[in-house]
Amino acid sequence: MKFKKEGKVLLIIVISAAMAVISMFMTDNSDKLFCSIKRPEPGEESQVKRINVVGEDGESITSVDVEIAPRIMTQDEAAGCFEKAYEEIAGIMCGRNKDLEHVTSNLVLPETAQRGVVSLTWYSGNYELINYNGNVNNIGFSENECQNVELKLIMEYEDYKSEYDFAVTVYAREYSTGDSIKIQAQKDIEAAVSSSRMDENINLPQYIADSKVHYEESEKPVSPLVFVFLGGAAILVIIIADKKKVKDNAIKRKKELLYDYSEVVSKLTLLLGAGMTTRMAWHKIAADYKDNIEHGKAVRRPVYDEICKTDYNIQAGISELKAYEQFGKRCDTREYMKLAALLQTNIRKGTKELRRLLEEETADAFEKRKNMAKIKGEEATTKLLMPMMMMLMIVMAIIMIPAVWSFQI
């Protein structure tokens, strides 16, 4: 592998050196000395060349950038070019028509010929029938109707011009059987509708294209796919709305839990300070909440519902350790898990520092509650911003509109 890699590198070096040597020979000044420049041929684009002016001693004097325009044809060359352009146009202008003596569809009238060298201008003897783009308006023609139209073509190249005339005979447009019947039905029905403006009822033609016909009023039916789509969209909206509602409820519940945390810890601290045990304090908080709910003195709060559920579990025989652990998991926030851990530690070890720890937790919780209240205030301000802006715009409109009207008067 190593030798293959070295061989490739050596090959690249050899090729590069060979190309450099060839380039030196190709750029030899002795081969580039000239006294004339070849112009581009007619139809080709202008060229920009850089010419080095060299003295007799071979030293470069200056460089000049010059734009070289294409060569202009002589009169004879222009005449020959016009003839070739005429042959080119004659081969394409019929389009889908067989010849100009029987035209039923649009013509092809180009704007240039001979690779853009010759400019073409078209004039029609009847623009309503054939316009300068070659569009043929023969929709209203009867089956054997025809009209003659003269088309004039002016070819231009620099100062040279040449005119050509084309005789065109336009016939009725050729349709397929289905299209022909459709057009005939449209014409006959429109004629019947327009001829009976004073009659209460419109008598539609009984025959169209020599065939007896009947009529029925068609109403565009609603596709079953529309209802399938609407049903699917409704289901999707319901699913998304339910997911959003669950998510919003979870966020709202978490905010309420965090907002009530300081209150719960404060109550526990006060009751423990009054000499109650942890179990008694917990039961007291749950009992007071249930009593307030029954008498309509309080609204339901998630954390107190969880406290009541924990109290029921303890009364049902679940150990306090397990009940407090489940309480922390149901609340699913760092603060309540910490509170549950403190209560569990107090039950296991009977620590005497529980009150001090709860007091510290209360201080931290109140600080967080103040921050949350501040955030709520900012959110409320943001929500009120749009109504305030709308009120401002209404007030400005009330002031400005009469002023503008007074200026107009």
Residue 30's pLDDT band, with cuts at 50, 70 and 90, is: very low
Its sign, for the CA torsion 131, 133, 139, 145, is: positive
Task: Indicate if 383 and 319 belong to the same structural domain.
Answer: yes
Task: Indicate if 67 and 90 belong to the same structural domain.
Answer: no
Between the alpha carbon of residue 90 and those of residues 110, 117, 263, 375, the distances in Å are 11, 17, 98, 82
Tell me the mean pLDDT in the region 72-85: 90
Task: Indicate if 150 and 268 belong to the same structural domain.
Answer: no
Among the three residues 177, 192, 214, which one is the final residue of a domain in this structure?
Answer: 177
150/399: higher pLDDT: 150
pLDDT in tens, 5-29: 556 666 677 677 667 666 555 544 4
Among the three residues 23, 54, 71, which one is the final residue of a domain in this structure?
Answer: 71
Task: Indicate if 142 and 98 belong to the same structural domain.
Answer: yes
Whether residue 146 contacts residue 169, with contact meaning beta carbons closer than 8 Å, is answered with yes
Calpha distance 158→174 (Å, rounded): 41
pLDDT of residue 341: 85
Residue 394: inside a domain: no
Calpha distance 150→119 (Å, rounded): 20
Task: Indicate if 278 and 368 belong to the same structural domain.
Answer: yes
Q: What's the number of CA atoms in the CB half-sphere (13 Å) around residue 247?
A: 6
Task: Indicate if 135 and 61 belong to the same structural domain.
Answer: no
Its sign, for the CA torsion 207, 209, 211, 215, is: negative
Parallel, antiparallel or unpaired: strands 207-208 and 211-212: antiparallel
Task: Indicate if 256 and 381 belong to the same structural domain.
Answer: yes
* Closest of 170, 94, 93, 85 to residue 127, by C-alpha: 170
Whether 137 shows a pLDDT value over 80: the answer reads yes
Task: Indicate if 278 and 166 belong to the same structural domain.
Answer: no
Calpha distance 93→176 (Å, rounded): 24
Residue 216: inside a domain: no
Residue 153's pLDDT band, with cuts at 50, 70 and 90, is: very high
| CB atoms closer than 10 angstroms to residue 262 | 21
Whether 211 shows a pLDDT value over 80: the answer reads no
Tell me the mean pLDDT in the region 317-335: 89
Calpha distance 269→278 (Å, rounded): 10
pLDDT of residue 31: 45
Among the three residues 20, 47, 71, which one is the final residue of a domain in this structure?
Answer: 71
Task: Indicate if 59 and 152 belong to the same structural domain.
Answer: no
Beta strands in 69-105 (DSSP E): none
Whether residue 274 contacts residue 229, with contact meaning beta carbons closer than 8 Å, is answered with no
Rounded to a whole number of angstroms, the distance between the first and last alpha carbons of the chain is 95
Tell me the mean pLDDT in the region 176-190: 67
Calpha distance 43→273 (Å, rounded): 105
Beta strands in 278-365 (DSSP E): none
The number of distinct structural domains making up the chain is 3
- Candidate from 92-106, 213-227, 305-319 with smallest mean pLDDT: 213-227
**Phi-psi sector, 275: left (phi>0), alpha (psi -120 to 50), beta:** left
Residue 27: inside a domain: no
Task: Indicate if 64 and 121 belong to the same structural domain.
Answer: no
DSSP-derived secondary structure letter, 222: P
Residue 323: inside a domain: yes
User: Is-above-0.85 flag for pTM?
Assistant: no
Task: Indicate if 330 and 253 belong to the same structural domain.
Answer: yes
Calpha distance 207→201 (Å, rounded): 18
Whether 167 shows a pLDDT value over 60: the answer reads yes
Residue 24: inside a domain: no
Between the alpha carbon of residue 278 and those of residues 267, 282, 332, 338, 363, the distances in Å are 11, 6, 21, 15, 20
Residue 341: inside a domain: yes
Cα 60 to chain centroid, rounded: 58
| CB atoms closer than 10 angstroms to residue 344 | 18
pLDDT of residue 217: 67
Residue 327: inside a domain: yes
Residue 58: inside a domain: yes
Task: Indicate if 274 and 363 belong to the same structural domain.
Answer: yes
Q: Which domain holds residue 94?
A: 76-177
pLDDT in tens, 54-71: 777 777 778 888 888 888
| CB atoms closer than 10 angstroms to residue 169 | 13
* Closest of 142, 182, 196 to residue 204, by C-alpha: 196
